[in-house]
Chains A and B, each alone.
Chain A
Amino acid sequence: MTFYILRRLLQLVPTLTAIVVITFAVVQLIPGDPATTLAGEDADQVTIAKVRAEYGLDKPLPTQFAQYVGRLVRGDLGQSYKQAMPVMEVIGRTLPPTLLLTGTALVISTLIGIVLGVVAARRPSGVTDHVIATTSLVAFAVPGFWLAQLAIILFVLRVPLFPLGGYSLFGSDAPTGLGHLADVGYHLMLPALVLATSEVAAVTRITRSGLLTELGANYTRVAEAKGLRPEDVLSRHALRNALLPVVTLIGTRVGFLFSGAVVIEALFSWPGLGGLLRASATTSKDPPLLLGIVIVTSLAIVLANLVTDLVYTRIDPRVRLG
């Protein structure tokens, strides 16, 4: 196992190199004077000179690259111009709400998706199956922010079931302790459900087709022939194997959820990376912060894939380590 983990970590090297090289190239390929662009639109000469020195833009390319890598290794992502603090700190403040939203959506979509997949696979081509299949197709085709807009029109503006947005109540009537947790949960519900929708569709389809394959396999027929109840055949034999592909895909889905989350967050004024990203991409022009966000999210996705692989080797004894 240790050997496998080491080998898997070694495989990360090309991926990490790719992230570093690509982000470096984005800065290098800026036409004209990169320092002026990086410093932002309304920067003075002093700031521009500072940026040039900080990024080493006056030095030869290999030196610049070495400097860049060196800074990344030390966890230094540069200075955010608009927020007037290190990029790492800005991200550190806004990442937790994003992780909460993404994590909740990941859990919700996996659970609902598996349940729907099982229900659909019980009677393939039945009415329920067709309804679930059609709904998933539509859910998978709808842009996340549009779904969020519809949800806001229907469940916030027309029928006020949910709060318009934000993380929790604030001010004097804001609850504390457990009440605060419940309040955050209440604010979290609609954005998390919206974010989870397209992923529910993906998990449903994978679970359903996996189950159908397993239910047609010889070992499940043996289990049936032994006289096991259909529910036991399903839950103890077929489902366990059918869920393996669902686990494999979690890493990839984290990537989709992340990019979906930044859009949804901006809509629900959820205080995560999304609002920050939207502001720094359009109005405030804060390239160091943007590059930092790209690097951090790429790393998060790489990590999610790593964890998925490790979990996979634990639950599937057929995967041989070494």
Chain B
Amino acid sequence: MAEQRRGFVSRFLRSPTGLVGVVLLTLILTLGIFAGYIAPGPPFAFGFPTASPPSDAHLLGTDPSGRDMLFLITRGIRTTLTVVGIVMAVSLAIGTALGLVAGYAGGIVDSAITRVAEIIQAVPRFFLALVVIAIYGQGIDKIILLLSLTSWTFLARALRAETLSVKQRTFVDAARATGARGRSIVTRHILPHVMPRALVVVMLMGSRVILIEAGLAFLGLGDRSNPSLGVLASESQEYLRQAWWLSVFPGLGIAITVLGLNLLSDGLAKAIDIGSESGTPSRRRRP
């Protein structure tokens, strides 16, 4: 197993896709985690110029109320990462659990879980989120809750399919023959096999969540007391003519994060496909 894992990591690192993804995400994570060192603040002080373009004193410029953009953007990255991180973790937990159970148990349990997932997916979540926030009031907790509740379904459906196919493999029969119970078969034998796929799906889902949050923020439904990158970009709208930097840098932050997640997910998927014997010829042909 250890041997196999090392192969997986090296396969992953050999593809430029995954590597670039790691680099981009590391950049964003560094900016978010070490925000206090990179831009210690204060965000605005007497004497800060208002709406000034990038300069030595303010690397990314200042906004119309004289706040340092580097400060705002590093904090915005934190907020965005917090939202997407929690949504990804919750979806991973719910989606993996329900997907495994549905795929392994089958029958009524399976149809019930599949049905619930279909129902949730029937309503476009962007619009649903919009209405809920508009009616219930703004707040980052509501965005997180709503996106978590609507995002696990993608993972559950993907893992259900994956579990169905892994269930057929010989090692599951072997485990059963040695007297293993359902729960231990699922957690010890099937889960490790579907986990890489779960990560691929959850990262793609995370990148969509970032874009949805940004869209909501742009429509004025973000949390202004906790401005995410989306909120920052949306606030720049009135100053497009005078101050391009207000829009360009927050948007760039979103794009880098999303691109990083997509690339990481791509690289991971490729490493899984090459590693598994079931990789289709067409996939192998791809560079």
Contacts and interface: CB of A to CB of B under 8 A. Distances in A.
Q: Do A and B bind each other?
A: yes
Interface of A: 14-15, 17-19, 21-23, 26, 30-31, 37, 124-125, 129, 137-138, 140-146, 149-150, 152-153, 157, 209, 212-213, 216, 255, 258-260, 262-263, 266-267, 277-278, 280-282, 285, 287, 290-291, 293-294, 297-298, 301-302
A112 B120 CA distance: 32
A129 B212 CA distance: 29
Contacts of B219: 262-263, 266, 277-278, 281-282
A145 B128 contact: no
Contacts of B207: 141
A143 B259 contact: no
A216 B281 contact: yes
Interface string B235-264: 011001100100110110011101100110
Interface stretch (B131-139, B164-172, B176-184, B268-276): B131-139
A298 B124 contact: yes
A137 B128 contact: no
B219 to A, nearest CB: 5
B132 A124 contact: no
Contact of A150 (B130, B221, B251): B251
Given A138-B259, A212-B285, A26 B131 contact: yes
A67 to B, nearest CB: 19
Interface of B: 115, 118-120, 122-124, 126-128, 130-136, 207, 211-212, 214-215, 218-221, 230, 233-234, 236-237, 240-241, 244, 247-248, 250-251, 254-256, 258-259, 262-263, 281-282, 285-287
Given A209-B286, A282-B134, 12 more contacts: A15-B122, A18-B122, A22-B122, A23-B123, A37-B135, A140-B262, A143-B251, A149-B240, A157-B241, A281-B130, A287-B134, A294-B131
Contacts of A259: 124, 126-127, 212, 215
B269 to A, nearest CB: 12
A22 B128 contact: yes
A182 B52 CA distance: 40
Interface centre among A142, A143, A287, A298 (most CB of B within 10 A): A143
B124 A255 contact: yes
Nearest to B127: A294
Contact of A216 (B115, B126, B259, B285): B285
The 3 closest A-B pairs by CB, nearest first: A146-B251, A259-B126, A141-B259
Contacts of A141: 207, 255-256, 258-259, 262
Contact of A287 (B135, B212, B254): B135
- Which of B123, B254, B258, B259 counts the most chain A CB atoms within 10 A? B123
B80 to A, nearest CB: 11
Contacts of B133: 281
Contacts of B118: 14-15, 18
Contacts of B211: 143-144
A30 B258 CA distance: 33
Nearest to A21: B119
Contacts of A23: 123, 131
Interface of A is mostly: helix
Given A30-B136, A125-B287, A157-B241, A145 B218 contact: yes
Nearest to B212: A259
Contact of A290 (B123, B134, B218, B287): B134
A230 B157 CA distance: 40
Contacts of B122: 14-15, 18-19, 22, 298, 302
Given A259-B215, A298-B122, A209 B282 contact: yes
B130 A137 contact: no
B227 to A, nearest CB: 15
8 contacts: A143-B218, A146-B247, A146-B254, A280-B134, A281-B131, A282-B134, A282-B221, A293-B127
A92 B273 CA distance: 48
Contacts of B250: 146
B263 A137 contact: yes
B247 to A, nearest CB: 5
Contacts of A19: 122-123
B237 A267 contact: yes
A302 B254 CA distance: 30
B189 to A, nearest CB: 32
Contact of B130 (A267, A290, A298): A290
Given A138-B259, A258-B124, A297-B124, A263 B282 contact: no
A278 to B, nearest CB: 5
Contacts of B220: 278, 281-282
Contacts of B131: 23, 26, 281, 287, 290-291, 293-294
Contacts of A291: 131
Contacts of A153: 240, 244, 247
A30 B131 CA distance: 12
A22 B123 contact: yes
A266 B240 CA distance: 14
Contacts of A21: 119
Contacts of A150: 247-248, 251
Nearest to A296: B127
B130 to A, nearest CB: 6
A139 to B, nearest CB: 10
Contacts of B286: 124, 209, 212
